[in-house]
Amino acid sequence: MDYAWDFSAILQYRALLWVGLVNTFKLAALCLVLGLAFGLPVGLMRYARARWLNWPATAFVEVFRNTPVLVQIMWFFFAFPIISPFDVNAFTAAALGLTLNTVAFSSEIYRAGIQSIAKGQWEAGKALGMTRRQQLIRVILPQALRRMIPAFMNRAIELVKMTSLASVIAYGELMHQAKTISTIAFNPIEMYTVVALIFFALIAPPALAVQRYEKSLGRRD
Amino acid sequence: MTEMLRLEGLVKHFGDLEVLKGIDLTVMKGETIVLLGASGSGKSTLLRCVNFMEVPTGGRVHLMGNQIGREGRGGSFDYAERDLVPIRARVGMVFQHFNLFPHMTVLQNVMEGPRTVLGLSKSECKMRARKYLDKVGLGWKADAWPTHLSGGQQQRVAIARALAMEPEIMLFDEATSALDPELVGEVLDTIKELADEGMTLMIVTHELGFAYTVADRVLFLSGGRILEEGRPDDILLSPREEQTKSFLRGHSRFRLPDTPGQEQA
């Protein structure tokens, strides 16, 4: 193969790439924080014996787990503004799709993590006179969260990758910026190689850290 | 003597299964009650109804002279969770599997009830926790993690955790059943000490020798009813009911010969 690689155009447009990197980070961070924050109540609702709490949570989780994120983002960008009074820009549409997806998946992580704690722990708190809420906050969650950390990290990694889907509705994250640069500079081979490397550099260190943490958890239990 | 607990016609169903079929029992302050019976006889369920870990299906519970729960409409009876939470705070319970909080040190385990439930100040909780850890002989393990303790030590911490709430009555649900034989003694000693100090105790156990030593009154349960009750001498040495006899025979089928000079039990 005698392709002559030429990365000079990428250096020339590095400011555009930098904007993309910042936007990727903004989108991922926002969706992660909101997704984890709302995942807990949704996960707890799925526990509830009351049907009016349990049923909507289950429906929500199933809808967002069983449809592609790409479709969700497109739907929020094109369909949602028409059936609702809200004006939705690319960032909002992408954030909505990714956040709700993260809520759905993280609620399952919370649920599984809480379920993994022995029933005797709830009972010990209850016997001391704790309310159900105190049992959850003082006894169950501190133990469960430790076990959930690897699953949440995997979610975060998945989320960073999924932000690239926002390029289809022209949100200026890394992937979209790369597309723009490659159109201007006619260098898709170099450009997408660099984007792949950037994503790898972003994701590999935390992924390795999770693997290590999981191993150390295994040793401790 | 004042009355601590009175059960009237206590009934508990789990779905179609009727576990308690009408229990009448009065426990006086300072009394030590031992509950015996085969597995499935309802003794643990009875204990768990006293602090409302299980909510009774029927009957009445009076604790320290107060009837628990509210009379509903049409003869029904309601136990609202918000009424039961403060009851549990006044009744201590020790479990078969200790159920210590593994994410807290020994000291934090014992502080947790006073801190979260009673809302005492941190220094007060610490003082209390140290006091009760010393009482069970584990003050020196205050900063250890529960998983680093032996089973017997863990159970003694669990006793200290329950005591730190300064309960009116303590319930022991097979507190030594999960322990290696050589660790049973230290836990029984701790319970015995509480009985001697005049704490009101209800104990589910399979240790007949311990029951004989510690109990003021022994109840033998069968099929969700109290079949026989009385002083330990009467129930353990000369039971009237055939079921009690066969239960006791089963528990003492193999015995060491009595060594000369020792009191015969």
CATH number of residue A113's parent domain? 1.10.3720.10
Q: Is B119 on the interface with A (CB under 8 A)?
A: no
Please compute the mean of the pLDDT values over residues A147-167 and round it to a whole number.
Answer: 92
- For residue A3, being part of any structural domain is answered with no
Distance between CA B18 and CA B102 in Å, rounded? 35
Residue with tokens 């369920």: B45
DSSP B173: E
Q: Is A116 on the interface with B (CB under 8 A)?
A: no
Contact between B165 and A123 using a beta-carbon 8 Å cutoff: no
Q: Which residues of A touch B84 (CB under 8 A)?
A: none
Contact between B86 and A130 using a beta-carbon 8 Å cutoff: no
* B55 or B1, which is more confident: B55
Chain A residue whose CA is closest to B85:
A129
Query: A144 with A115: CB under 8 angstroms?
Result: no
In DSSP terms, B35 is beta-bridged to B204, B219
pLDDT at residue B114 greater than cutoff 90? yes
pLDDT per residue as tens digits for the range B208-229: 999 999 999 999 999 999 999 9
Q: What does the mean pLDDT of chain B come to? A: 92
Tally A–B CB contacts below 8 A: 58
Please compute the mean of the pLDDT values over residues B33-45 and round it to a whole number.
Answer: 93
- For residue A2, being part of any structural domain is answered with no
Instruction: Determine the pLDDT at residue B37.
Output: 92
Chain B residue whose CA is closest to A125:
B113
Instruction: Determine the pLDDT at residue B221.
Output: 95
Total domain count, chain A: 1
Please compute the mean of the pLDDT values over residues B233-256 and round it to a whole number.
Answer: 88
Instruction: Determine the pLDDT at residue B265.
Output: 47
- For residue A209, being part of any structural domain is answered with yes
Instruction: Determine the pLDDT at residue B258.
Output: 76
Contact between A127 and B92 using a beta-carbon 8 Å cutoff: yes
- For residue A185, being part of any structural domain is answered with yes
pLDDT per residue as tens digits for the range A193-213: 999 999 999 999 988 988 888
pLDDT at residue A90 greater than cutoff 70? yes
Q: Which residues of A touch B103 (CB under 8 A)?
A: 142-143, 146
Going by pLDDT thresholds of 50, 70 and 90, the confidence category of residue B262 is low
Please compute the mean of the pLDDT values over residues A183-189 and round it to a whole number.
Answer: 89
A126, A138, A143 ranked by CB distance to B102: nearest? A143
pLDDT at residue B263 greater than cutoff 70? no
Q: What does the mean pLDDT of chain A come to? A: 91
Instruction: Determine the pLDDT at residue A21.
Output: 94
Q: Is B102 on the interface with A (CB under 8 A)?
A: yes
Which residue, among B135, B190, B141, has the nearest Cα to B164 in the 3D structure? B135
Which residue, among A137, A105, A108, A106, has the nearest Cα to A121 in the 3D structure? A137
- For residue A1, being part of any structural domain is answered with no
Distance between CA A110 and CA A145 in Å, rounded? 8
pLDDT per residue as tens digits for the range A19-61: 999 999 999 999 999 999 999 999 999 888 888 989 999 999 9
Q: Is A126 on the interface with B (CB under 8 A)?
A: yes
B97, B100, B117 ranked by CB distance to A129: nearest? B117
Distance between CA A47 and CA A25 in Å, rounded? 33
Query: B128 with B208: CB under 8 angstroms?
Result: no
pLDDT at residue B63 greater than cutoff 70? yes
Please compute the mean of the pLDDT values over residues B130-158 and round it to a whole number.
Answer: 95
pLDDT at residue B261 greater than cutoff 80? no
Domain holding A125, by residue range, is: 8-220
| ipTM for the assembly | 0.92
- Please, is A206 exposed, middle or buried when counting C-beta atoms within 10 Å of its C-beta (0-12, 13-18, 19+)? middle
Chosen from A126, A128, A131 to mutate, greatest number of chain B CBs within 10 A = A128
Q: Which residues of A touch B165 (CB under 8 A)?
A: 128-129
